[in-house]
A and B are shown apart, each in its own frame.
Chain A
Amino acid sequence: MKPLPSFLIHRPRTVNEALKMLSELEKAKPIAGGTDLLPLLRDRVVEAKNLIDISLIPELRGIKEGRNEIRIGAATKIKDVEKSRIIFEKAPVLCDAASSIGSPQIRNLGTIGGNICNASPAADSAPSLLVLDAYAEVVSSKGSREIPVKEVFKGPKRNSLRPDELLISIKFPEPFDTSTMSFQKLGRRRGYTIAQVNVAVLLEFDGPVCCDAKISVGAAASTPIRIYEAEERLWNKRLTEEIIEDASTQCMRAVDPIDDVRASAEYRREMSHVLVRRCLMEAWNKARRLM
């Protein structure tokens, strides 16, 4: 293991200040929690001469409920997402995901924006954000853009932001009160571990009919993915175990995992099937209790 390389830390108080630093300083990189970045810097996987600490910028912190929309500042700690009343009530699937990220120590440092920008295919918050149709608010000194969270992920540990861009917030439309959700994660132990596969689903019902379904699987492709062809199998149907099994099987076909030290591609594929089915069953059972 190598010691950390040399770099300078800058601590801007405003987004504009941060953006200026990102575009002007040599090899500048934003740092939020640092839980993923520090090991990458040690391993020389990421190179940075200037770290722009975005934790002091007020508008990057906190969870707000707007009109039909929830906004989470990019530098909001995972712990705050996990404990948020708003998230617990409106998007529990994100609460569950947040509480499965790292350890308490990591959740107290790491941020929701970092979990996304680190672009690990196994990022535990990603499947939940994908089924919530979350999008990322990205700004640079040249302007701003909003892209689906899914598109922030470009490949393993590669995000689609330009070096001068900064993720400001993550927003998603407030799910209907009738939506039900589920998150499941499989790892090599119960405590603090990287997912072999993680899955989130969100179902909406019109009476007994499933009118919308969203399924996302992580760690089963080079980025977390939505599996539309499986979702379609649930639309406008009165759900049965057979239909759920069919959609889950569809997911198994759609994923494209790799072999690594954590699991084989085949096991990941099979487990996406199992986890999707379990998530769908759980969400459906929740809905049936509401009906």
Chain B
Amino acid sequence: MEYANILQDLLKRDEYLIVGKKVARTDALDKVLGRALFTADYVPKGTMVVKVVRSLQPHALIRKIDYKEALKIPGVIRVITASDIPGENQIGYALPDQPFLNDAKVHYVGDPLALVCASDEYSASEAVDAIKVEYNALPSHLTVDSALASDAIPIHDGGNIAVKTRIRKGDVAKGFKESTVEVEETYETPYQEHMYLETEAAYAIPEGSDKVTVIGTMQSPFLVREKVAKILGWSLSQVRIIQALTGGAFGKKDDMGPLVCAEAALAAVLVGKPAARIYDRDESVAYTPKRFPARFRYRSGADSEGKLKAIEVEITLECGAYANRSPFWLWRQTAHAAGPYYVPNAAIDGKAVYTNKVYGGSFRGFGDLAMQFAAESQMDRLAEKINIDPIEFRLKNILKTGLTTTCDQLLDHSVGIEECLRRVAEASNWSKYVPCKEGSRVRGLGVGCAYHGISTSRGTPDWSACSLILNQDGTFTYRTGICELGQGSPIGHAKIVSEIVGAPLDFIHVELPDTSSTPDAKPTHGSRGLMLGGTAAADAALKLRDNMLKVAAEMLECREDEVELKGGEAFERGTPSNKISFSELAEELYARGISPASYGFYASPKRYFDPETGLGVNYSVYTFAASVAEVEVDLETGETTVLKVWPAMDVGKAIDPLMIEGQIEGAVSQGIGFALMENLILEDGVVLNPFFKDYIIPSALDTPEIAKPILVEKPYKHSAFGAKGVGEPAIISIVPAIVNAIHNATGIRFNTLPITAERLYDAIRRSRQ
């Protein structure tokens, strides 16, 4: 039976107390009072400062790192190089290709070479300048084509292709033969920088001779612990990691958590003093992972009925200097290449290619944002060729229950994309819209659809854990390794606990993740925080509820199924005046030796996967989204203004509609940035715009009107209340909606992002010639 129904039966409530309702986030109070502590806020004045010495060359052999002069600078305590690392000098995520400190070779401008430890910023900064590095320059690859050339010098052993992927479904040749229209295009998407407001930070405190505690910015405390322990050559139990409140993450802090914490920890342990490592803004922008750039050659065919018959896609992903997450990113693009449509025949090939540039990494949407920009552009182009309305064309091919994905995964429930699409069409008055022109300004409407597999793919085991304690005063202590990054996932868990144990939300205290006391919930990524972490929370709450009910029934002298838990009290459903408070109940549990604590666990249903064909059950469930955007383009300047966005998402079950709206609105802003303005500029591998001044993200004045997001609820049968992840899927449909709206307004279609005013102006001018 579906989890949502089980809960409904168990809780016997006509209406949920808190699940599905908008609430004020209990964790936001300290944030508005200015009392919320982020990593840097924990660092006492006078703490030893750690800075990184970085490569100035994109590709070179290291001859010598000379830091003698640096050590003479007053205030400089120590310089740490690769040979000082007690454990393994390796920080690669998917592949062991990334030294923590380089001593043989540098792979991009910014590659770390040494750590400087000093008593203050000034001496640390002076020391970084005083360290002389001698290189033997190598030819560098600044494009994927250069790296793929037959005579290209390899950036890493084993050549410049880090990983390959493939899917073969049906018979593509047959599919194209059956097609009456075909579209083949090449799309390119750029780097995108996360530009969260808080840069990466860590504060490490050595304890005794063989322990270290690190407070830092991260998304996966247990991954951080593993990497820090590895570099120190220590056991996991010697390393304690605490995630401080984190000022935005969007994926990058999953990549940067291990790095920044290891930098602080290594310095603290080797010097024997607390160490602070805080990234400067330009360092964060120029040298840390970005959204991977990609190129897609995309061929699609459809028949005269408007049915998609075949797709053939070739993905070239640019890793940059290290593979990092590229195997997972590339697989996600490969698996989602068709967009949320049924296509009987598909051949998809991907390769991830090293170059000598800043490397790619996790970022909201994880490959799907770029991939589905290409897929959705293809859909619009096919519709145009068949001469059919773009939404009508999509509806003919949209994924429904009973259909299979590109990976041949049967979707047997929780498929809400058709409803999302129909409802945004209706809300935006799509069928009646006429593109209009006023002076130099033209307006147009565009649509985008998206789907995103939640959490990890293929056969990787996926689980989450948490703990819940009923304290003597009737309050609860909840611990999860799922991190608060702004998205509010742990508050979602607290709401689930609150609903099940019948405690007001402010009775439930969510502890910061701390590897010494928090159960491992696996990473806060892949939009899994609420769906997996929250289902573990439900498990913990149900177990504790059982014990609470048992004792309450005895205290109230009624049957267990007559006991209601609500508002921090247990009472007899038929006689509400027969009641006890949670503090009385808690004391009784403790007195009787009945466990007042529980450990929640949740494991995703098993999936399988054939590496040869790429077919199988790929993700346990998908979140679907559709958006319509209206834009106005100034034909004289090329400026695009997004006037209004109508978003919809199938969220399974909205645990908190307000927080989901917040995710969607934030995604609209980031999507506008990616589609229209964010443009990292590199010259010879050097980032030229590492500050907010020239890496432009949307400001309040660039905010469009956003219609109240439409939340479609097609529950997922294996998660608490049926909830699915929302953070990443929220952004994916926004970008194609904007790009397609620009086409609708101007007749110009862009295969390359961002569509800056200057690029659009050029295209308008060319189209007139």
Contact = CB atoms under 8 A, between A and B. Distances in A.
A263 interface: yes
B234 interface: no
A190 B639 CA distance: 10
A194 interface: yes
A66 interface: no
Nearest to B690: A1
Interface in B170-194: none
Nearest to B699: A191
A191 B669 CA distance: 13
B756 A188 contact: yes
Given A190-B699, A274-B636, A3 B121 contact: yes
Contacts of A261: 681, 688-689, 694
Contact of B696 (A188, A271, A274): A188
Contact of A262 (B636, B694, B701, B702): B694
B677 A3 contact: no
B701 A191 contact: yes
Interface string A268-282: 001100100000000
Given A261-B694, A262-B694, A271-B637, A189 B700 contact: no
Contacts of A186: 637, 639, 757
A275 B617 CA distance: 56
B280 interface: yes
A264 B693 CA distance: 17
Interface in A185-217: 186, 188-194
Interface in A168-193: 186, 188-193
A245 B739 CA distance: 32
A1 B281 contact: yes
B761 interface: yes
Contacts of B699: 189-193
A201 to B, nearest CB: 17
Interface string B694-709: 1010111110000000
Nearest to B692: A192
A189 B677 contact: yes
Nearest to B279: A1
B122 interface: yes
A100 B758 CA distance: 21
A261 B122 CA distance: 30
A155 B126 CA distance: 31
A274 B694 contact: no
Nearest to B440: A274
Nearest to A190: B701
Interface size class of A (residues with CB under 8 A): 10 to 19
B39 interface: no
A183 to B, nearest CB: 16
B125 interface: yes
Contact of A191 (B122, B282, B700, B762): B700
Contact of B701 (A3, A189, A264, A270): A189
A147 B27 CA distance: 58
Contacts of B584: none
Contact of A194 (B693, B698, B758): B693
B283 interface: yes
B681 A191 contact: no
A193 B700 CA distance: 12
A142 interface: no
Contact of B698 (A1, A189, A263, A274): A189
Contacts of A192: 699, 701
A193 B699 CA distance: 10
Nearest to A270: B761
Interface string B729-769: 00000000000000000000000000011100110000000
Interface in B277-291: 280-283
A177 to B, nearest CB: 30
Contacts of B125: 2-3
Contacts of A263: 758
Contacts of A193: 696, 699
Interface in B643-700: 677, 681, 688-689, 693-694, 696, 698-700
A267 interface: yes
B670 to A, nearest CB: 14
A274 B757 CA distance: 13
Given A194-B693, A274-B636, A274-B637, A267 B700 contact: no
B702 A191 contact: yes
A272 to B, nearest CB: 11
B761 A189 contact: no
Given A1-B281, A3-B121, A274-B637, A189 B689 contact: no
Interface string B57-84: 0000000000000000000000000000
B702 A190 contact: yes
A104 B758 CA distance: 27
Nearest to B697: A189
B677 A188 contact: yes
B282 to A, nearest CB: 5
B687 to A, nearest CB: 10
Contacts of A264: 758
Nearest to A271: B637
B108 to A, nearest CB: 19
Nearest to B696: A188
A91 to B, nearest CB: 25
A3 B700 contact: no
A1 B124 CA distance: 12
Interface string A1-36: 111000000000000000000000000000000000
A267 B282 contact: no
Contacts of A267: 758, 761-762
A187 to B, nearest CB: 8
Interface in B115-173: 121-122, 125
A264 B758 CA distance: 8
A190 B700 CA distance: 9
A189, A261, A267, A270 interface centre (most CB from chain B within 10 Å) = A189
A264 B757 CA distance: 11
A189 B122 CA distance: 35
Interface string B277-309: 000111100000000000000000000000000
Contacts of B688: 261
B681 A3 contact: no
A200 B696 CA distance: 25
A273 B121 CA distance: 48
Contacts of A274: 636-637
A224 to B, nearest CB: 19
Contacts of B121: 3
Contacts of B122: 3
Contacts of B281: 1
A263 B759 CA distance: 10
Contacts of B757: 186, 188
B282, B701, B758 interface centre (most CB from chain A within 10 Å) = B758
Contacts of B700: 191
A142 B280 CA distance: 44
A2 to B, nearest CB: 5
A262 B757 CA distance: 11
B442 to A, nearest CB: 16
Given A1-B283, A264-B758, A189 B696 contact: yes
Given A191-B699, A270-B761, A274-B637, 16 more contacts: A1-B282, A1-B283, A2-B125, A3-B125, A186-B639, A188-B677, A188-B696, A188-B756, A188-B757, A189-B677, A189-B699, A190-B701, A191-B701, A192-B699, A261-B681, A261-B694
28 contacts: A1-B280, A1-B281, A1-B283, A2-B125, A3-B125, A186-B637, A186-B757, A188-B677, A189-B696, A189-B702, A190-B699, A190-B701, A191-B700, A192-B699, A193-B696, A193-B699, A194-B693, A194-B694, A261-B681, A261-B688, A261-B689, A263-B758, A264-B758, A267-B758, A267-B761, A267-B762, A271-B637, A274-B636
Interface of A: 1-3, 186, 188-194, 261-264, 267, 270-271, 274
Q: 10 smallest A-B Cβ distances: which pairs?
A: A191-B699, A191-B701, A190-B701, A1-B280, A267-B758, A3-B121, A188-B696, A274-B636, A190-B702, A261-B689
